Chains A and B, each alone.
Chain A
Amino acid sequence: MVILKKIYQLLALSLLTGCEEAFTPDMPHTPALCVNSLITAGEPVEAKISKSRLYTDSSEKSEVRDAEVRIYANGELQLDSYIPKEGDNIRIVAESPAVGRGEADVLIPASIPSPTATWETYDVSCWKSDNDVVLVEFKLKVDLRIEDADGENYYKFSFNSDFQADEELDDFDASGNYGFAIGSLLYDMEPIFREHIAIFESIMGGDAEGFSFFSDRQFEGKSYTLHLQFDNCWFRYPKGEIPDCNVNLIVSSVSPSYYNWANYIWQRDSGTLTELGDYGFGDPIWGYSNVSSGAGVVAAQSKSVCSIDLTDFIRETINETIK
C-alpha cells in the first residue's frame, strides 16, 4: 500500500504545495540539557549527556563536558560501582553550569520467565563448492511463548547468535565470508508487532518492518506466543567440523519510556502525522522525552533469553545432502 502514500504525497506536492522557501525564523532558542541512558539490569549504568542545538546550526557541537551526573537508586545516591537490578527505581540527575539541568526517573522492569520455543526449518538447500566449502540455506519458523505478569507491561523482541568462526579460516578464503547468520525477521507475520499502527497509518503504507516492541494490552496476565519467521538464514563453512550454531531469542521487559521512544521513532519516520505537520494540515510532532528538560530518554530493560541450537540441524543437513 505504499502506492497510497505516494498518491498522497503526489497530491500534496503537485496540486497543493506550490513551493518551499528557505528562511531563518526569528525565534529565541535556549539549549536544553539532553540525557540519554538505557539501563539494563545487571549491567553498569551509562548516561550520555549532550545539549540541544538550533536545527540549522550544524556546526554547533552538542557535547557537554562540564556536566555532573548523579545516579540515585531507590532514593540513595550510588557510586560508579553500582549495578542496577530488577525493581530498582533509578533517578539520573545531570547538571551543567552552562546548559542547565535535566533529570529523569525510570523503574527497571522485572524480566519475564524464560520463554519457551518450538521451531522448524523449511526451504532448506545445501551445496558444496569445488573448494569444499559448504553452504546451507534455510528459513526458520519459531513459536516463542512468553508469560505475562499482571499490570501494564512493555516488551521488545530481539535476536542474536553466539556463533564464533575459527579465526584461522580467514586464511582459507579470501572473502572471509564464512559464518552463520539468522537472516531477516518477517515482522509483518507477527500481528503484535503491528499493534501500534492505526488503520490510517496502515492504509498509508505504514508497516512493522524493524519494529519489535509491543505491549501486553491484548494478553494482560496471560501467555502469548510470538510467531517468528526468519528468511535468508545461512551457514557457510569449510566441510569438516561444524562450530556451535545457536540463535538467542531475547524478550526484554522494557520501561514505558523505551516503548514510547520506539513508538515515537516509528510515528516520526513512518506515520502520517509528520507529513500532515509538514504541510500545515496538522501539528508537528516533537521527540518523545521523559527528561525534565524535554531532551533525551532514560529507559530501562531486563532481558530474558531463549536459545535455539541449530548445530545438529546443520550437521544432519550436510550429511544427508553431501555424501
Chain B
Amino acid sequence: MSLLIGVSCCVSVVVAQNVTIRAVNQPAATVFRSIVEQTGKNFVYSSELLKDVRVTVKAKNKPLNYVLSEMFSGTPIEYKIKGNNIVLKRRKKVVKTEKIKPPVVSVPVTKVYESSIKSTMLDEVVVVSRLEAPQVETAEIGAKKVTAEEVRNTPVLFGEADVIKALQTQPGVTEGTEGMAGMYVHGGNADENLYMLDNVPLYQVNHFAGLFSAFNTDIIRYIDFFKSSIPAKYDGRLSSFMDVRLQNGNREGHHGSARLGLTSGAFNISGPIGKKTTYLVGLRRSWFDVLTIPFVAIANSQNEDEKLRFNYYFMDFNVRVQHRFSPKATAFVSFYFGDDKLKTGTEDKGYDKPNYFGSFSDDRFDMHWGNILAQAGLNYRFNDNLSSEFTAAYTRFFSGMKHDYISRDKSSDHMDESHTVLKTDNNINDWIFRGDFDWSPNGNNRVRFGAGYTRHSFLPARTSRLYEVGTTHLSTRDSTWAYGANEVNAYIEDDWKISDKFRMNAGFHGSLFNIGGKTNLGWSPRLSLSYRLDEDWAVKFAYARTTQYVHQLSQSYLALPTDQWIPISEKLKPETADKISVGGYWESPDKTYAVSVEGYYKWMDNLVEYKDEYYLRPPLDLWNAQLCSGKGTAKGVDFKIEKVFGKVTGHISYSLAWADRTFADKNGGRTFPAKFDNRHTINIMVNWKISDKVQVNASWVGHSGNRFTLLNQVWDDPDFETTDWFGAGESPLRTGINSYKLPFYHRLDLSCTVKNKRGYWTFGLYNAYCHMNTVAVKRGTQDIAVSKPGEYYITSEPVFKRVKLLPVIPSISYTWLF
C-alpha cells in the first residue's frame, strides 16, 4: 500500500474546474498541492512514478483538463480523471519498451482504485499522509500509514473493525490482554501512546472495558502511526503517536452508509452544503441496552419484590463541517463525543407496605466515562512553498462513578434509615491553541515548524462520601483538588535530501509544563538518517527522546472508569524515554515486495505505577500516595516482509523483544519483566481478493506468553483474635513480579467480505481453530474420586488452573451504502 500515493487537501471542498497556477520546473508533487486546493480533486499515483519528475505550467483560470495536459506533456505520465480523483499512470508506450518485465505499478493502483470506487470508499483510499513515500525513500524508521481499507480488512473480535486492533498486527506492537484494544509499543505501557483525532489528543480511546476502540472506522481516511522515528511535531507520550484522520465531506452529493452488526450499529452521511461547504456526520452506538431488555424483564418477572435495573451502551458521534473561503484558505470545525454509560442497581421493596415491618432498599449505581473534543481549524497557504494550519481545540476526558444507596428498616416502634452516596470523579480539560507551518524553501528541504499552548485542568480521582444514618450525618471528601497546568511547546524539523543517497530529518520539540508553581522543561531532540545503498536498498538510523507529563493509572488490564489520568506533580517527575533505532530496507524492483529489519533500544525514566500493595491504602488517601516511580528498558528487533500489490497482499512479521522495569517500591527494588514482555511475536496477515465482489482476510498471531505473577506458595494465616468475619486460611506468598511466563499464544482470525449492489456483508470468525489461550493462572481445587475397599468418596485437592479465554466467535454485519 505504501506505493499508493494520494495528494489531497483535507480542507478542499469545492469542485472548481478552472485552475490558476504558475510553476516553473517545480517538483510535480508540489504543483499537485496547489491543484488539489483549487479543485478539491485528489491525485492517485505511485511515488516511483513521480521520481525526479519536474513540471512547468502556466495557466490563469484555465480548465483543469487543459492544465493537466499542459503539465504532463513531455513527461512519461498520463492522467485520467475518474470522479473526484486524478489517476496518474505511466504511459503505455513506456511499458512496452522495457526489456525486463516492467514494474506494473499502474495496474495495481488502478485496480485498488477501481475496487474502491465500487464500494464508494474513494476518500479512504486516496489519502494524505506524511508517510507517502516507500520506506526506502524516507528517513523515518518504524512509521506506518494505515488506510481505512487496511483497518476494515483486519479480522477482529465481533467483526467490529478497529483501528487499534489493526495496529496490533504491526511488528513491535503487542495487544496485551486477549481481545482488548490495548496497545503496548516496544515494551511501553498502554498510556504511552498518543491517540489523536485530526491532530487533537483523545484520552479515552476505548469502549466496553477495552473490547472496542473509540474510533468509528466507517468515517476515517487513514492513520499515521509512528513508533521509532517520531516527528518533532509530536511529543507528550513515550512510545508511539497515532493520528487518525477523518474523511472529508463528499462534494458530489449526499452519500453515506449504515451498518448493522452484532454489537453495534453505525450511520454515516456526508455531502455538500452549498458550493463551498461540506459536512460529515458519523454515529456509532452499541446495542447492549436493547439486547439486555428482555433478560432484565425476565429476571424481574421472577422476583416480585426485587427489581433489577441494567442499562449499558457506548456511542461515538462525529461531526465535521468544512468551508472553503478561497483557494488559499479553508476552515473546518469538528466535534466528537464518545462515551460509555452504565446505570444499574436494584430496588427491594418487598416489605415497604403499610402495617408491615421489614426493609426497603434502593441501590443505584452510575458509571459514565468518555471524551469530548471540539475543534476549529484554518488552513492557509501563503504561497506555493509555505502553508499553515491553525488549530483551536477543546478536549475533555471525564470519568465518574456514583453509588447511591438508601435503606429503611421498619420495626414495631422504630425505623432505621440510612443513605449512602459514594462518588469518584476524574476529569481532564484541555484548551489547545497551535499553529503549524510547512515550508519548502527548495526541492531538497522541507521544514516543518510550529508552536502551541495548552491549558490543562486536571481533577485526579476526587472521592467523596456521604453517610446519613438516622440523625447522624458524616460527609467526607479526600483532599484532592483540581490542578491547573500550562504547557507551551514549539518544534522545528527539516527533512533534508542531502544527496540522492543521503537523507536526514533532524529537529527538536521543546516544552515547558508548569504545574503547582513548578516549571518542568522537556527537551526532545529527534534525528533520522537514511542512506540508500542503491535503488532498492536503504539503511537508517534514528534517535528520539520523548517526554510525558500525563499518566494513566490502571488497576487492571481492562479499560475501566477506575483508570485515572493524572499529571506529574511535585512528587512525580515527567516520564522520559530515549530510543535509538537502526533499520535496513529493501524493495523488490517491481515494488511488489518490501522487506524491513528494525532494531531498537529504549531507556525509560520516571515511569509511574502503583506501589506494591497499594490497595491497602484507603480510598480517601490522596491520589499520589499510592504511586511510585522507576525505570524501564526495552530492546528488540522487528522483521517484516510485505506484499503490497496483487490479488493476494499482506505481510509476515517477527519481533524479538525484551522489556523490563525497576522500581524502588516494587518487587523489593529488583528488576522484573514487563507484563507484556513477549520474547517472540509472529504476525501473518493475508488479504486475498478473490473477485471484485469477494475478499477473504486472514490474520494469524503467535507470541510468547504474557508474563504473570504466579503465587505458587502459601503460608498459614495468623489466628488472631478476630470478629466473626475472619476465618483462618492461607495466604499466597509473594514472589517475583511477572516471573512466570504463560504458554505460547496463537490464534487465527478470518473474515470475508461479499459485496452486492447495495452494500456488503462481512462475515468473521475470531479464533477460527478455537485454540483457547491461557491468560492467567489461578489457584483452585479439583475433585478427586477416592476408591478404597469398602468406601468411595469424593474429595478435593488444591491445583493450579490455567484460565483460558475466548473460544471461536463468529460475527456478521451488513453495511448499506447509499
Contacts and interface: CB of A to CB of B under 8 A. Distances in A.
A211 B403 contact: no
A99 to B, nearest CB: 11
Contacts of B735: 286
Interface residues of B, number: 93
Main secondary structure of the interface of A (DSSP, over half): mixed
A169 to B, nearest CB: 26
B414 A122 contact: yes
B776 A25 contact: no
B733 A198 contact: no
B365 A25 contact: no
B768 interface: no
Interface stretch (B266-274, B451-459, B710-718): B710-718
A31 B476 CA distance: 44
Contact of A55 (B420, B712, B776): B712
A271 B800 contact: no
A278 B803 contact: yes
Interface stretch (A78-86, A172-180, A239-247, A287-295): A287-295
Contacts of B560: 200
A227 B471 CA distance: 10
A196 interface: yes
A7 B710 CA distance: 27
B801 A22 contact: yes
Contact of A58 (B418, B797, B805): B797
Interface in B128-169: none
A304 B802 CA distance: 48
B712 A38 contact: no
A212 interface: yes
Contacts of A217: 618, 620-621
A274 B338 CA distance: 30
A189 B420 CA distance: 10
A202 B615 contact: no
A198 B712 contact: no
B619 interface: yes
Interface stretch (A67-75, A110-118, A258-266, A307-315): A258-266
B718 A48 contact: yes
Contact of B724 (A16, A18, A210): A210
B503 interface: no
Contacts of B805: 16-18, 279-280
A25 B344 contact: no
Contact of A210 (B706, B726, B734, B772): B726
Given A210-B723, A210-B724, A279-B803, A34 B715 contact: yes
A191 interface: yes
Contacts of B418: 188-189
A23 B740 CA distance: 14
Given A210-B725, A264-B616, A281-B557, A20 B802 contact: yes
Contacts of A3: 308, 346
Interface string A251-284: 0000000101111110110010100111111111
A229 B416 contact: yes
B516 interface: no
Contact of A277 (B308, B401, B731, B776): B776
Contact of A286 (B403, B424, B562, B731): B731
A23 B365 CA distance: 39
Contacts of B806: 16, 18
Contacts of A277: 776, 778
Contact of A19 (B344, B413, B476, B804): B804
A191 B804 CA distance: 39
Interface in B323-354: 344-346
A288 B800 contact: no
Interface string A46-84: 001011111110100010000000000000000000000
A281 B807 CA distance: 17
B412 interface: yes
Contacts of B402: 199
Interface string A23-38: 1110101011010111
B266 to A, nearest CB: 23
Contacts of A21: 801-802, 804
Contacts of B776: 277-281
Contacts of A62: 715-716
A38 B720 contact: yes
Interface string B408-446: 000111101010101110000000000000000000000
B533 interface: no
A233 interface: no
Given A17-B805, A283-B737, 19 more contacts: A18-B807, A25-B710, A34-B716, A52-B714, A55-B800, A158-B721, A189-B469, A191-B465, A212-B723, A225-B472, A260-B616, A273-B615, A280-B708, A281-B177, A281-B558, A282-B556, A286-B732, A286-B735, A287-B733
8 contacts: A1-B363, A55-B779, A185-B723, A212-B725, A217-B618, A276-B558, A279-B778, A286-B735
Interface of B: 177-179, 308, 310, 344-346, 363, 365, 367, 401-403, 405, 411-414, 416, 418, 420, 422-424, 463, 465, 467, 469-470, 472, 474, 476, 555-558, 560, 562, 613, 615-616, 618-621, 675, 706, 708-721, 723-726, 731-735, 737, 739-740, 772, 775-780, 782, 797-807
Q: Please give me the 5 A-B residue pairs with the lowest Cβ-Cβ distance, nearest first.
A: A210-B725, A287-B731, A280-B776, A280-B775, A36-B718
